[in-house]
Structure 1
Amino acid sequence: MTDYSEATLATKEKLAADLRLVIADAEELLQITSSQTGDKVAELRARVAENLRVARAKLSDADAAIRDKAREAARATDDYVHENPWRSIGIAAGAGLLVGLLIGRR
């Protein structure tokens, strides 16, 4: 996977997490204002409820896209390892050695 793809995936994950937080806050606001009456409040609550419905749908789509990208990356990695087993073992051993050296320096 390229650096651009990884950055895009990380951005989408951050956006999805932020959207989940906004949805939770909006739902809490709707619960808190449920006892308020009046035409303006009812209109606002209806608009917020519709926006929440749309946000949930978009979040669901974003989650699906993130899962698809993760599956695609896993599939590509699996294909690479099957096509280049010795190179993969060498890379894993090198990474293990590097991590061991870094941990040993502490």
Structure 2
Amino acid sequence: MAATSEQNHAAKEKLVADFKAVVADTEELLKLTAGQAGDKLSDVRGRLSERLVGAKERLADAEHALRENARKVAHATDDYVHAHPWQSVGIAAGVAFLLGLLSGRR
């Protein structure tokens, strides 16, 4: 279950990074076409600018949600470790043992 949560978190971070790249490319496109004339181009630039503002707001919301979720997971982990210290040590030792086995095979 923890692996699925980590995969979801990684996928969300990748999505945010990809979205940032699209926003940056769109801003660059708007700058490059600023000197171009034409009614259709002006209309498209206007709509694109509006959508870009909305996309930036959604991106900021997504980043905030990711940070908030990471904070909640960190607090839950901290609470578990404080409530079950010996189990946490055992789990950490087991993970370290498995990682040692895996790295020893190479």
Instruction: Give distance in 2, aligned partners of 1:75 and 1:30.
Output: 42
Provide the residue aligned with 1:88 in structure 2. 88
SS of the aligned residue for 2:75 comes to helix
Aligned AA (2:85) = P
Structure 1 range deviating more: 9-18 or 60-69: 9-18
- The count of corresponding residues between Structure 1 and Structure 2 is 106
- Structure-to-structure mapping, 1:15-26, within 5 angstroms: 15-26=15-26
Q: Which residue of 1 aligns with 2:57?
A: 57
More off after superposition, 73-82 vs 13-22: 13-22
**Distance across 2 between alignment mates of 1:77 and 1:92:** 13
Please identify, of 59-68 and 28-37, the stretch whose mean Cα deviation from structure 2 is larger.
28-37
Establish whether residue 101 from structure 1 lines up as the match of residue 93 from structure 2: no
CA-to-aligned-CA distance 1:31-88 (integer Å, 9 cap, x gap): 1111101222111111111110000000000000000110010000000000000000
* Partner of residue 13, structure 1: 13
Unaligned runs of 5+ in 2: none
After superposition, the C-alpha distances for 1:10-45 in whole angstroms (9 at most, x for unaligned) are 443232122112101111111111110122211111
Measure, in 2, the Cα distance between the counterparts of 1:65 and 1:71: 10
Q: Determine the C-alpha separation between the residues in 1 that align with 2:2 and 2:97.
A: 24
* Normalised TM-score (structure 2): 0.89
TM-score (norm 1): 0.89
- 1:30–1:66 CA distance, 2 compared to 1 (3 A): same
What residue is the counterpart of 1:27 in the other structure? Answer: 27
The answer for the alignment partner of 2:75 in structure 1 is 75
RMSD of aligned C-alpha atoms? 1.7
The alpha carbon displacement at 1:9 in A equals 3.1
CA distance, structure 2, for counterparts of residue 10 and residue 102 of structure 1: 23
